[in-house]
Amino acid sequence: MDFHSTTLRDAYVVKLAPARDNRGFFARTFCVEEFAARELETNFPQHSISFSARKGTLRGMHYQREPHGEAKLVRCIQGSILDVIIDIRPDSTTYRRWQKFELSSANGHQLYVPRGFAHGFQTLSDNVEVHYLISTPYHPELARGIRYDDPAFGISWPHSVTEISEKDLRWPDFSNS
């Protein structure tokens, strides 16, 4: 694995380093020692997967409040997504900044999302599957979100939204949360 810092403090793009042969390839997607060496989360008791049928589907921007904040390792295993993270840690030097990344089954990139970030994505193709390693089990009473079109951030999504949950449409503006 090859770790690349992002412009947001503590977030990383993790590029796989596959060993290729006539069968295809083999690559590590997670190694405790490599993550621990960078002081990143190494405990992921929840593994989740999402499937989105239509290009333009939007999921997010989600986070969990403390004491159950989540670190995530996100990988698109079928199709492609534009993954977006927002640093919502008030004490961070990158507070209220966001960044976007293309994750796809073709590029094999993963995104390490630290605790204290909101996370979401829009599908860039039909029939998309996304796999998540999550550091904390889901606690619905602590689930929060930021509207995908919140003017406080001005996130530029590449496509019109074709599908979105009612819950994601109802998140308040960040300044009101």
- Residue numbers annotated as active site: 62, 132
Question: 78-91 burial, b if ≥16 CB within 10 A, otherwise e?
Answer: bbbbbbbbbbbbee
Q: What whole-number distance in Å separates Cα of residue 15 and Cα of residue 80?
A: 15
85 Cβ contact partners less than 8 Å away, ≥ 6 residues apart? 8, 11, 98, 99, 101, 111, 113, 117, 118, 119
User: Is 70:135 a contact under the CB 8 Å cutoff?
Assistant: yes
